[in-house]
Structure 1
Amino acid sequence: MNTDREHGVDYLQRVLDAAPAAVMVIGADLTIRWMNSTAVDLFGFSVEHALGRSILEFIDQDWNPLAFDSVISALSGAGLRQPMLFRAVSEDGTKTVVEVTANVQFEDEVVDGMVVYVRTWDERWLLDEVLHAMAANEPIEHTLQLLVQVAGAETIGAPASLLYEPRDGRVAGIVAADVLPLDLRGPHLGCDDELVEIWAPLLAPTVGHVHDVVDLPPRLRVPAAENGLKTLWLWPTARNDDRSRSAWALAWRSDEHLDIDETRRMMMARLATLVGMIVDGARIDAARTHAAAHDSLTGLLNRGEFHARCDTIIQAASSRSSGGVGCVYLDLDGFKPINDALGHSAGDRVLAEIGGRLNAAAPAGSVMGRVGGDEFALACEAADVGELVALARRMVDRVGESVPLRDGEIVRVSASAGVSFRPSSAATTLTSHRLVDAADRAMYASKRSGGSVSVAG
């Protein structure tokens, strides 16, 4: 062992330059007095250009308002300080989240400074942001965009495209780095069949693959080469065997290495798995939200949600100078005998069919709900009461059409309807319950008179 060499200044400088963390010595006046090569790579400036400049020039104080206070606090102590996150600003303006650990050594007359150890923290910070976004049920596009930034951080370091919701060879959901040309992002909705055929074999494997750009079809190879991209890393979600949950993580690398180390393989697999988890979570949340607001049998709004949306229509109508808002309330006639004679499954079939017909007949902008066992209501803005009466009659006619059951039997029901209408000038004091109750009373008047539609007074 050459101890003279190992204790030499050149040897120690080389060791520090080889360190994965940036190392800097900061003076009492906060100027940079020394730095290793890793710091040069991290901040993108030369040693000569950095020495003598204040470290605060390279800290984004807006990102962390406590940055300056934490530096001053560190200077007032001695020894090793607790790590803290900063956002560093490189010479070209690039901003990187870093973890900074300070070791204050002003009492050491040789060091006479604050030794600062800096390592990039973008990836870990972004992954934390992804988890926070998932926990907060942030929109799926926002959460996946954070994952795209993770792919661009230190481990993968490449522009990425995250794919989910495949539909007949195309992908409905694609969140990608802005620098990627459209065709390199995946078989997007609206693309031609040629692009679908190109991507199909790439997305088919259930395990991760690395593709050399030179081996790809020209439609992908040419734009990739024009953008300096040489390899495609493509990983499916771990649940890719379930086609309804398929998701993929794509990373386009500028290096030519086809062998990926285990760390990067694990990160690509993690990205793909997170995409699947985020998509599944959004789907589950959407299903829960839908179930909380809709009737499970007919798919129409349930009573509570119907009233909430009816109030929204009333509020919108109150700001208009003409027209008004109205409700059509329908109750099925002859439904109970079907339940009694053929069973509740037949009754459910009739309700589901009638609900679908009424929803199809509902005009744009209206809301349709199942507000009772065999009672339905519609609320909408209308020009006048005549428009609502015509709509109610069309809906009654639709109800009266025959309903085929699963065993081939055909049944029929009819409906009585009530209509209530209030002009926009009266909508300021109107509530959904008053509007619906008026239509409900008119419906009972219709039943008593034997007519199909009655209008509330």
Structure 2
Amino acid sequence: MPSSVSPPFPRRLIVLALLLSLGIGALFARAIWTLRDDQQRFAERTSVNLAYTLDQAIGRTVGALDHSLQGVVHELGNPAAMALPAALRDKLLFDNSLRLSGVGGVLVLDAEGHIVIDSGSAPARQANLADRDYFRVFQGGAHTGLFIGVPVRGRLSGEYSLPLARAYYGADGHFAGVVVGIVRLEHFNGLFAQLNLGPQSSVTLLRVDGTIVTRFPDSDGLVGKSLAGTANMRAVQAARSGTFKGTAVLDGVPRQYAFRHVGDYPLALNVAQAVDTVLADWRRNAWVLGSFALVLMLACVGLAALFARELQRRQQVGARLAQAERDLRTILDNVPSMIGYWDADLHNRFANHAYVDWFGVGPEKLKQLSMRELLGEALYAKSLPYLEQALQGHAQLFERTVVDAYGAERHSIASYVPDFDGSAVRGIFVQVTDITERKRMEDELFEEKERMRLTLQSIGDAVVCTDAQGRVSYLNPVAERMTGWQAFDAAGRDVDDVVPLHLPGGAAVQPSPLRHALAEVRPLGPTRGVVLQRGDGQRFDVEESASPIADRHGQVTGAVMVLHDVTESVAMAQRMAHLAQYDALTDLPNRVLLQDRARQALAQARRERQGLAVIYLDLDGFKQVNDRLGHDAGDHLLVQFARRLQEATRASDTVSRQGGDEFVVLLPGIGSADTVGPVARKILAVCEEAFLLEGQPVQIGMSGGIALFPQDGETFEALARCADAAMYAAKRQGRLQFRLFAPDGAHRLVR
């Protein structure tokens, strides 16, 4: 749009208004800042006056108690006074100053720290205070005069108090003891409680070394705490009195401090008002004044802006309307659709440039034609029903095939929108869009979709398609057979409900591989080791793979999962794995599995310090059975013998066929020959009953050798050699027996 230049007067008016508003803001800001300084100065003067008043009150209390202590020290050096009866002596020692508010009493301690005279009790209460700092400082000679100790909890009263002490000496000048007076801290807290300093403000009495005597409010837990080395404490120690601003290390609150040292005593007092409390009233007033100033400033600028805008508005309206008309014409001429307006008599009032491409008629010539003349009789007759409905106020949308001015056939979609003036239709807006390319793509898409459908129906794997949320959208026939679902029943259901995948152990695969593909936006698989279980209980071992489906913008719109039925191959693999570890005839563990179990049993026996037995067995007379009845009968005999042998042993034992008629039994948990004897007899009993072969009872025996761990060997190979040697000894000694291996060759008969 063309820019319009503001006239000089409105521009100067805006500048003047800005200057005026800035001046108003500056005046109010100055006033607000002055109020802030006045508020802080007033608070500072108040804190200084309070600190002075409290200093005088505390100084009088401490001075009066010190005066009494000096009197007690003086009288303690008077032999005549100390010779008086206890009641008269105490009345002489303790004058009326002890009745001051807050004074807790005076104690006289001897050179060992024992209480010898007590102003509050006659006779004196029994206690030793030699561990107190005020006693140790005089006992060691490190101090003279008045000493103010750290606040303590009294052993006699149980209350916090501030001790004031002076030493007294014997006639020869040696240290004789300490006189200590007590000021209850609740006396100071009572003075401080009369002040109203506002929230988060405080009054603190400290020793000049930084030890907190008491603090109001919130003194609990702070009595005796040291502030030495902090910035605030250094400011208090640097001068006798003064003010400063700082942040309390106790609670992190910024405060305005006024402090004074109490007389000539090693005590200091500070009155601390929270900065937020000091400035609370000022902030409220500042918000009111600032808001009022802002309103005035905005009003000045706003009124000037409104006036200047109104002056420019009339100049801009005409230019905008002209520009809008040019913009609209440019847009409509570049829209890939025919757009026109036809009045109630179906004469053209407006047309864009697309009419030239379709009908070879420009906008100016088109205004001289009716719609019948433009379309021709045949096309007009087809369009007339829609035109009549549109002129009656009903919007129309339909498809039509048109032959353009160049003889090309165009598929189009036409829209007739009535133009109401409030009571009648004045005309219709016509929009015709060429959809020839879209039609062609739809036809190609249909053909491609049909090819994909036939392909998916023809392949031998199950194919499951879902949307981006994992809801089933398609099942091919193989997927219908494997899942037990019909495609129309499964549509819209969760893929985990339609295709329940499980691990071989029975646990469900959660989430399904298809959901992993959707979440990670990458193909997964193919992966074996998954079982598809139908609702009727039928199971399929499958090899699954899943891939996300994305549109041309990379947005995931769904996923496809392919399940390849590998039930037969998995069964074959399991059978082959079984045959690799078990005897094909008797289904007993073979040499490979026996050695593996033996290694595990030996490791457990070493770990738990238990025994283990290996038994070698050989059937007696097996060759004669083969020769007389044939090898099939011999095989049947071996199968029956293996079954009986398994029944005669424990579930934890391993019975293995080594080949021919030789068997090995691995017995974990067998610790001695006495333990293995019952097992051997039970195994011998296996052959007591005749075996039925081809309808004939056949009696057969066995011989066996036993080796024990760890007596006979540390490895299975060593134990096997020992058991084999014992077995051949059993055969040499008459068969139908078990022999226990002995290193000297005298293999003992197991009974």
| TM-score bucket of the superposed structures, by smaller chain | 0.3 to 0.5
Larger radius of gyration: 2
Q: What is the TM-score with the length of structure 1 in the denominator? A: 0.43
Q: What is the TM-score with the length of structure 2 in the denominator? A: 0.27
